[in-house]
Amino acid sequence: MRRKPAIIAYDICCNKRRRKIYRCLLAWQLDCQYSVFECNLTVKEAEELFIQLSAIIDESEDSLLLAWLSQKHKARAITRYANISFLSPVWYAG
């Protein structure tokens, strides 16, 4: 499968969960700038990573976004307000 560029961003309220998310993303060897990670993933890898991250966060307090830098793939988000699916590039303010 071909790798595609994506952005993973998070806003985690709890320091313990934030550290777990950060360690999980570092284990995938992704480049980061604070809570925004740039990655090149296959769709299968992205699904696995999103499952791992979703298991760590608290959906009632935290936000997690996986946005493909391509209009061919939907962005996926978990926020305290709703599960969001985007068809085009994303701007999200929580």
pLDDT at 76: 63
Domains plus CATH for the chain? 4-86 (3.30.70.240)
Radius of gyration for the chain, computed over Cα atoms and rounded to the nearest angstrom: 12
pLDDT band per the 50, 70, 90 thresholds, residue 80: low
- Looking at residue 35, its pLDDT comes to 81
Q: What is the pTM of this model?
A: 0.68
Structure tokens at 28: 């995938």
Q: Where are the alpha helices (DSSP H) in the chain?
A: 15-27, 43-56
Please, which pLDDT band fits residue 27 given cuts at 50, 70 and 90? confident
For tokens 């995938």, the residue is: 28
Which residue has tokens 């929580």? 94
For the segment 31-77, what is each residue's pLDDT rounded down to a tens digit? 777 788 888 888 889 888 888 988 998 888 888 888 887 666 665 66
Please measure the distance between the N-terminal and C-terminal CA atoms of the chain and give it in whole angstroms: 33
DSSP helix/strand/coil, 55: helix
Beta sheet of 31-33, edge-to-edge order:
31-33, 36-41, 4-11, 63-68, 75-78, 83-86
Q: Is 29 helix (H, G, I), strand (E, B) or coil?
A: coil
